[in-house]
Structure 1
Amino acid sequence: MVCFAAGCSTMDPVEHADTLAQAGGLQRERIVTPTFVLTAYSKISSPREPIHLYIEGDGLAWISRTQPSLDPTPHQATGLQLAAIDPAPNVVYLARPCQFTPMAVNPTCGIPYWTGKRYAPEVVASMNDAISQIAARAQGQQIELIGYSGGGALAVLVAAGRTDIGSIRTVAGNLDDAYVNQLHNVSEMPESENPIDFAKRVASIPQIHFSGADDHVVPSAVAERFVDETGPRCAQTRVVPGMTHDGDWRAVWPDLLRVAPACGR
């Protein structure tokens, strides 16, 4: 049994994801990259408009503080929940490496890729390759990135190396993994890239970073630190009252999505 904000489900995580995606008109697919085979759910209805591209969080990376999971597939799939209610004509949800995709077709997968190497350069490269394949379906259009939790980290890391990113939105985004790990007194991740180190490279991209006021996993100070590094011209933070890290972001997402990222003068 899997429990979510709206109640409990007897479906396994993949079945639940398929149900969520179907309600939003998204079709499941696999995207082959040189390092990983990634699972995506997509809807491209108007190739002449931008693509809203959602990146999932870290998923079920750990069973306990010291015991990693054997399968990082998220049970709640918050990123997919948000994608499924996005009314844009072009919406794509991109799961992280080793999530939703059978390990048998992903020989590179292993515990390091959802623990210490979750933001490693090869992970960023794989996500970037998949996004390029998706972008080809709406040639010349911009990609609007939306990342939940650790997906926010990858949204920044991917955006830092691309020229077709129209905006970045993060939801409870881990934008400074060294700081977050220090807050929780857990191991550093020297094999991963830290988004805050790339803040200057995305400083000219319109962006909004949403944090939950009651998020004790990735507190609002993380987004504030990131915007301090980018500068405030194109980046802003918003704190959502009463929201926890894994709270019901779906309930507030339609309103948050209407807040358009923009650069000031």
Structure 2
Amino acid sequence: MKEKLAGSTPPAFLSFLLAFSVSCLVAGCAGSQARFESLRDSASLRQEVVSAQGFRLLLLERSRLIEQGGHVHVYIEGDGRPWVAGGEVVAADPTPRKPMALELLVQDERAALYLGRPCYFVGVGDAVCSPQWWTSQRYSERVVQAMADALADWLARRPAIASVSLVGYSGGGVLAMLLAERVPQVRRVVTLASPLDHERWTALHGYSPLAGSLNVAKLRHWRADVLRQAIFGTNDTNVPPAAMLHALPPGTEVLVLPGMAHECCGDQTWTSILGRLNQAAAASP
């Protein structure tokens, strides 16, 4: 994904690209929706839409296990498709064609919740959903607080849940790190192929800076009662591990998977990786 501003592009070409992006959106929407519904239904997930900070957010929960209480895994999606046409035009809808975090949730047999991002899947046509929320301000204070409010409200309605693990894929991992500081029930954060220093990440690829977004690498104070685990892939050219290790909060456990590119999980299954993470968590003091 080649994210950059298109201000120097001729207006006629911009009009063509915009029309192209809209046509692609219409053509791909049915397939994306079918994939989403198939994943949702295969795991018997209950769908809910909640409001927070003026946004609407999608929630999908594995109700049967969640009702038992205890610990819940909360999955957060990646950045999807903020730009189209080779990064020259802002997407009309950032919803991912392949919802990787949802695919990981489906493989996870534990109690789980899919926590949507503002303007993803639902609400993209709402007046509040201007493109800034999935481009430059995708990790902004308002976006993070909206997700924190939505999760806090969901937890308040389920008092039997004692603790939460946040699992974030790609940009969802950035949001997971930030959310953990605001939701007291969070005890663990797992990031997967996440650009935890978005300033270095955008510079590395020549993308437009994410002005207005919070940067994990710039934070200096972290909760001491949260276990943090970061997964990277040796073949990930989108988020190279070496470019992100400096951004990790102190004490973060790092797992670098041989052969894994930006999409999870190389030659390993997500359930096997979860098992390794759980073993590491159990061994932590």
TM-score by length of 1: 0.87
- CA 1:199/1:80 → structure 2, altered by over 3 Å: closer, same or farther? farther
Aligned to 2:203: 182
Whole-angstrom CA distance in 1 between matches of 2:271 and 2:218: 31
Q: Is the 8 A contact 1:57 1:96 kept in 2?
A: no
CA–CA distance in structure 2, aligned partners of residues 28 and 19 of structure 1: 13
1:114 partnered with 2:134: yes
Residues 137-174 of structure 1 show CA distances to partners (whole Å, capped at 9, x for unaligned) of 43251111000000000001111223211100011112
1:81 aligned partner: 103
Unaligned runs of 5+ in 1: 1-8
Aligned residues of 1:56 and 1:148 also touching (Cα < 8 A): yes
Compare the two structures and name the one with the higher helix fraction: 2
Instruction: Give 4+ residue runs of structure 1 displaced > 4 Å after superposition.
Output: 247-251
- Name which of structure 1's ranges 249-258 and 213-222 shifts more when overlaid on structure 2: 249-258
What is the CA distance between 1:222 and its match in structure 2? 4.2
CA contact (8 A) 2:257 2:266 kept: no
Residue identity in the other structure for 2:62 = K
| Structure with bigger gyration radius | 2
2:176 matches 1:159: no
C-alpha deviation, 1:199, in angstroms: 5.6
Aligned pair count? Answer: 251
**Contact 1:135 / 1:141 at 8 angstroms: preserved in 2?**
no
Match of 2:38 among 19, 25, 29: 19
Counterpart of 2:168? 147
Cα distance in 1, alignment partners of residues 182 and 267 from structure 2: 29
Q: Distance in 2 between matches of 1:184 and 1:49?
A: 42
Gaps in structure 2 of 5+ consecutive residues: 1-27
1:116/1:189 contact within 8 Å kept = yes
Give me the CA root mean square deviation: 2.2
Specify which of 191, 202, 210 is matched with residue 231 of structure 2. 210
Q: Percentage identity across aligned positions?
A: 29
Q: 2:244, 2:198 → 1: CA distance? A: 11
Moved more, 135-144 or 174-183: 135-144
Does structure 2 retain, via aligned residues, the 8 Å contact 1:43–1:91?
yes
- Determine whether 1:56 maps to 2:73: no
Q: Match of 2:259?
A: 242
Residue 257 of structure 1 pairs with residue 279 of structure 2: no
1:254 positional shift: 0.7
